[in-house]
Homo-oligomer: A and B are copies of this chain.
Amino acid sequence: MTKSRTNSLDFLSGLELMIDSYQGKEQIFGVNLNPAIVRLSCEEGCVKVIEMARRLGVTADTVRFYTRIKILKPGKNKANGYREYSEKDYNRLRFVLSARQLGFSVEDIQEILNHADNKKSPCPTVRRLIDQRLHETERQLRETLKLRDRMQQAVLEWSQKPDKAPTGHMLCHLIEEFTAEERL
């Protein structure tokens, strides 16, 4: 019953301090639970939304978002309606955040999770999707690069040009002359 006792909370990777807030609940995700206390407060292991968010370094809104679109399916405390996130939800969310870091869209992730939920290997899908996303990212990169070069070129050229008032058919000579000479 001490902090040093190992239990399923190990998945929390070193954030032992928050165990303080669970004193008196025996174990959270382990066995040996006191049924009376558990049923009242936290059915088979729970954390609330803000705690879940903090553990993975995101906002509560992010956790709520993934709950809303049903990527996370927390239980619900009958007494007060609060959501109860389990270790399974923690693993899912950690996975989702990892996948987002790799450029997968939320829709991609839902597809991947569908495979995993049906015990099928999501790996072929993952390989196919990252190929797509990589191509898109490379295209995006080229476009952003071209845009940056245009912008830098504009700043450079404009540094030699004076301000002018607009005329009938020229609203801003900086912008319009720059674009015009681009066409040469």
A residues contacting B by CB (< 8 A) are 11, 87, 91-92, 94-95, 98-99, 101-103, 112-113, 115-116, 119-124, 126-127, 130-131, 133-134, 137-138, 140-141, 144-145, 147-148, 150-152, 154-155, 158, 162-166, 169-176, 178-179
Distance, CA A112 to CA B171, complexed state (A): 9
Question: SS class of chain A's interface: helix, strand, loop or mixed?
Answer: helix
What residues on B are CB-neighbors of A126 within 8 Å? 158, 172, 174-175
Q: Cβ of B144 and Cβ of A137 under 8 Å apart? A: yes
Which residue of B has the minimal Cβ distance to A118? B166
Q: Which one of B92, B120, B138, B164 lies within 8 Å of A121 (CB-CB)?
A: B164
With both beta carbons as reference points, the residue of chain B lying nearest to A137 in the complex is identified as B148
Contact in complex: B119, A11 (CB < 8 Å): no
Return chain B residues, CB-CB under 8 Å to A113.
Answer: 171
Contact B134 A169 (CB under 8 A): no
Contact A178 B102 (CB under 8 A): yes
- Residues in chain B near residue A151, CB distance under 8 A: 102-103, 130, 133-134, 137
Q: Is the CB of B141 within 8 A of A172?
A: no
Given the known interface contacts A141-B144, A147-B137, A176-B95, the answer about A155 and B171 at a Cβ–Cβ threshold of 8 Å is no
Q: Which residue of B lies closest to A166 (CB)?
A: B116
A166 to chain B, nearest CB (A): 4
A171–B158 CA distance with the chains assembled, in angstroms: 53
Cβ B163 vs Cβ A121 within 8 A: yes
Say how far A101's CB is from chain B's closest CB, in angstroms.
6
Residues of chain B contacted by A94 (CB below 8 angstroms): 176
Q: A130 contacts which of B124, B138, B155 (Cβ < 8 Å)?
A: B155
Given A127-B174, A137-B151, 9 extra CB contacts under 8 A = A11-B169, A91-B169, A102-B175, A103-B150, A113-B171, A123-B163, A127-B155, A130-B155, A134-B148
